Every structure is written in structure tokens, then in C-alpha cells.
Amino acid sequence: MTQDLTYLKETASQTAGPYVHIGLTPNASGITGVYSADLGAAMVNDRTKGTRITIRGCVIDGGGASLRDALVEIWQADAAGLHNSPSEPRGQADPDFTGWGRCACDGDGGEFIFHTIKPGRVPFKDGRLMAPHITFWIVARGINLGLHTRMYFPEEEQANAEDPLLLRLEHRDRVTTLIAQADGDDSYRFDIHLQGKRETVFLDI
């Protein structure tokens, strides 16, 4: 016998179900008057530093259909590469940028849209700089545990080529699943494929 390790087990996940929007974006789902605004709807204000960008995309299932009941959250650094979080050890991030956004994919065609800024570079654990990226988290009916992935930027060819995460992908043709497409000035398209030949790289983090 030994002493016991007394760690607890993480609570098991369950699907967000078809009505996740009731709980997380009630105003967008027609339940008004409970919260003044849906959390995560506004990431920037007039004073936010950095280049304004727009990101649109869909979450697409193995049959090629866009999910109408998904919910997407994003999390990212500010223009200087700092996170607006008490767990950020490197300094104070831009107080006018939340870094966190949430969007329900229940519009026409199941599209999500985020109005944010282009993030700065953030160091990897060993000090190498990662390419600018945005962390995505996707939940929906039929998704049993929220899916983590990242979006990188198409114009950052050099930074992407030396990014520690992208370098780790053994199948190089999958790198493109993590890189958004330019879609006009400071506008990007990032579709997330849950299955199939273009299945997005999801992360075990």
C-alpha cells in the first residue's frame, strides 16, 4: 500500500444539446428581458487598439450540412499579444478588448460572425513565438465534448511556417484546415469541418 493520491476527477461532459442558445445567447434566441445583453456579443469598443477584422464561417457536418444549432466561442490575445486574463503573467492587456467572443450559428445558413481585432504573437512554452492565432471552441447537439481548434491567418506565411503547433502536424495537407481564407479587406472566412476529407484539426489540450 501507498499513500492515496487525492485528486478529484473532472466532471464528465455532456452535449450542449439543441437548445444551447437558450442558456448562452438568450437574447439572440428570442428570450429577452432576462439579461440586458448576450455575453460575448461585443469584443471591441471605440478605444480598442489594433486592426479591426471580421471572421465568418460555418460548422459543417460529415454530410456537408452547416449546423444551425452550434455555438462558437473564441479566445485570443490583444494586438500586443497579451490576454485579458488574471492568468496572463506577462503584463496588462488592452482593457478595451475582452479577447473573448461568443456567437450562435442559427442565422441563415448557420453562419457565425465575430468582429474582433487581429491578435499579436504569443510565445510558445519554450519561448518561440507562435504565429497570430485565435482559439476556437465549438459545442452543439451531437458534440459530446466541446471541440478546441485554432484559426491562423493566411497573410502570415512566414510566421505560420515557424509556428510550433503547425510544425507538429505530420500530415502537411491538414495545415490548411487551420488557416482562414482572406475574404475582402480585413475579413476572413474560417469554415470548420467536423468530418471528411477536409476535417479540421482539433486539439487535445
6 binds other proteins (CB under 8 A): yes
Cβ proximity to other proteins, 53 vs 84, nearer residue:
84
| CB of residue 114 to other proteins, shortest distance in Å | 14
Q: Which of 57, 75, 97, 180 binds other proteins (CB under 8 A)?
A: 75
Nearest distance from residue 184's CB to other proteins, in Å?
26
Comparison of 86 and 184: residue with beta carbon closer to other proteins? 86
Q: Which is nearer to other proteins, 21 or 118 (CB)?
A: 21
**Site map 26..55 versus other proteins, x via CB under 8 A:** x--xxx-xxxx--x----------------
Q: Does 58 bind other proteins (CB under 8 A)?
A: no
Per-residue contact track with other proteins, 84 to 123, x per CB under 8 A? xxxxxxx-------xxx---------------------xx
Q: What is the DSSP string of 52-116?
A: EEEEEEEEE-TTSPBPSS-EEEEE---TTS--SSTT-TT----TTB--EEEEE--SGGGEEEEEE
Q: Which stretch binds other proteins (CB under 8 A): 45-53, 81-89, 107-115, 181-189?
A: 81-89
The nearest distance, CB 6 to other proteins, in angstroms, is 7
Positions 145 through 204 that interact with other proteins (CB under 8 A): 145-148, 150, 165, 168-169, 174, 194-195, 199-204
The CA-to-CA distance between both ends of the chain, in Å, stands at 33
Number of Cα atoms under 13 Å in the Cβ half of residue 85:
13
Answer for the pair 79, 73: CB distance below 8 angstroms, yes or no. no
Q: For residue 106, is it left (φ>0), alpha (ψ between -120 and 50) or beta?
A: alpha
Measured from the CB atom, is 10 or 185 closer to other proteins?
10
Alpha carbon 38 to its chain centroid, in Å, reads 17
CA pair distance 158, 140, nearest whole angstrom? 34
Residue 91 corresponds to which cell in the numbers above? 503584463
C-beta closer to other proteins: residue 51 or 85: 85
- CB 165, CB 132: distance < 8 Å: no
